[in-house]
């Protein structure tokens, strides 16, 4: 199958381009004689993992938990709210403009308040991650649910189909391509949200660790933390892509 061969080729090239970036980084630092405190080499960065004090595993788990928690919460409740919008124009007319305004609030500005209200911890950071990626999910899903052929609705209504049936059999599957595009945008935002939360007030997580090692000028550890945060984001994004492939390409919706 030429399809799989092309896919293998694409993945190989993707891996190679990343390796090349690491290589370029390495030679930039080594040949440019850049001080470790400004920019450590990849090797120095990797060595930061050996410092047990930094409790990498625990911090990774905390940050990943915040990102995935806020994200899953946003996807779930966003799709439900969009569904309610598609059922009640009045509800949409009341809530949608409000959501647009609320979404304009910089979440960073909300951070200190959330910490006053809920104190430090994983919960408030999940909340910040949630609040930042909720809106794009609602917006894209609502848009997708609206894209139904009116004649198709008539067909179902002529059979006295319920709106739940319309939602499950026609609207939701039809909206999936939209939902996935919203989920991809939201994946990036969820990572940013969780880290903002950890910067503002936290006693655990990779963002918190970055603040700690900033004080001691442990640049390699900061680099490592950034890389790990990025990796969590890449894993989330990859899961979304995989899910999309599983659901969408098989049914040839894009064909």
Note the residues at the interface with another protein (CB under 8 A).
149, 151-152, 154-161, 165, 169-170, 173-174, 176, 248, 251-253, 255
Q: Which is nearer to another protein, 34 or 93 (CB)?
A: 93
- Closer Cβ to another protein, 22 or 249, answer by number: 249
Q: Measured from the CB of residue 129, what is the shortest distance to another protein in angstroms?
A: 31
**Gyration radius of the chain's alpha carbons:** 22
Q: Could you tell me the smallest distance in angstroms from the CB atom of residue 181 to another protein?
A: 16
Q: How far is the CB of 86 from another protein (least distance, A)?
A: 17
Q: What's the per-residue H, E or C state across the chain?
A: CHHHHHHHHHHHHHHHHHHHHHHHHHHHHHHHCCCCCCCCCHHHHHHHHHCHHHCHHHHHHHHHHHHHHHHHHHHHHHHHHHHHHHHCHHHHHHHHHHHHHHHHCCHHHHHHHHHHHHCCCHHHHHHHHHHHHHHHHHHHHHHHHHCCCHHHHHHHHHCCCCHHHHHHHHHHHHHHHHHHHHHHHHHHHHHHHHHHHHHHCCCCCHHHHHHHHHHCCCHHHHHHHHHHHHHHHHHHHHHHHHHHHHHHHCCCCCC
Nearer to another protein, 9 or 165 (CB): 165
**Nearest distance, CB of residue 180 and another protein, angstroms:** 13
Q: Judged by CB, which is closer to another protein: 113, or 249?
A: 249
Judged by CB, which is closer to another protein: 99, or 153?
153
Least distance in angstroms from the C-beta of 90 to another protein:
17
- Taking the complex as a whole, the smallest distance from the CB of residue 198 to another protein amounts, in Å, to 40
DSSP letter at 88 equals -
Instruction: Kindly tell me which of 61 and 152 has the beta carbon lying closer to another protein.
Output: 152
C-alpha dist (Å) from residue 240 to 125, 134, 180: 21, 16, 8
Could you tell me the smallest distance in angstroms from the CB atom of residue 176 to another protein? 8
Q: Is 42 helix (H, G, I), strand (E, B) or coil?
A: helix
What is the distance of C-alpha 81 from the center of its chain?
19
CB nearer another protein, residue 159 or residue 215: 159
Provide the token pair at 247: 């659901």
């Amino acid at each position: 199958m030429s399809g799989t061969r092309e896919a293998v080729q694409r993945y190989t090239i993707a891996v190679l381009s990343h390796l090349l970036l690491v290589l370029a980084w390495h030679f930039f630092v080594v040949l440019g004689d850049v001080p470790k405190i400004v920019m450590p080499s990849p090797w120095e960065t990797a060595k930061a993992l050996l410092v047990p004090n930094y409790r990498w595993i625990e911090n990774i788990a905390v940050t990943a938990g915040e990102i995935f928690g806020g994200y899953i919460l946003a996807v779930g409740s966003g799709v439900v709210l969009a569904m309610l919008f598609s059922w009640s124009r009045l509800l949409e007319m009341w809530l949608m403009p409000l959501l647009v305004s609320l979404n304009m609030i910089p979440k960073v500005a909300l951070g200190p308040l959330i910490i006053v209200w809920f104190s430090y911890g994983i919960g408030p950071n999940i909340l910040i991650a949630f609040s930042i990626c909720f809106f794009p999910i609602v917006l894209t899903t609502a848009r997708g649910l609206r894209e139904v052929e009116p004649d198709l609705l008539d067909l179902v209504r002529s059979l006295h189909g319920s709106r739940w049936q319309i939602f499950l059999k026609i609207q939701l599957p039809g909206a999936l391509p939209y939902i996935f595009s919203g989920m991809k945008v939201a994946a990036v935002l969820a990572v940013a949200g969780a880290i903002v939360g950890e910067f503002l007030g936290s006693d655990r997580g990779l963002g918190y660790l970055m603040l700690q090692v900033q004080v001691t000028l442990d640049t390699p550890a900061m680099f490592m933390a950034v890389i790990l945060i990025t990796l969590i984001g890449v894993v989330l994004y990859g899961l979304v892509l995989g899910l999309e492939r599983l659901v969408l390409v098989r049914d040839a919706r894009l064909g």
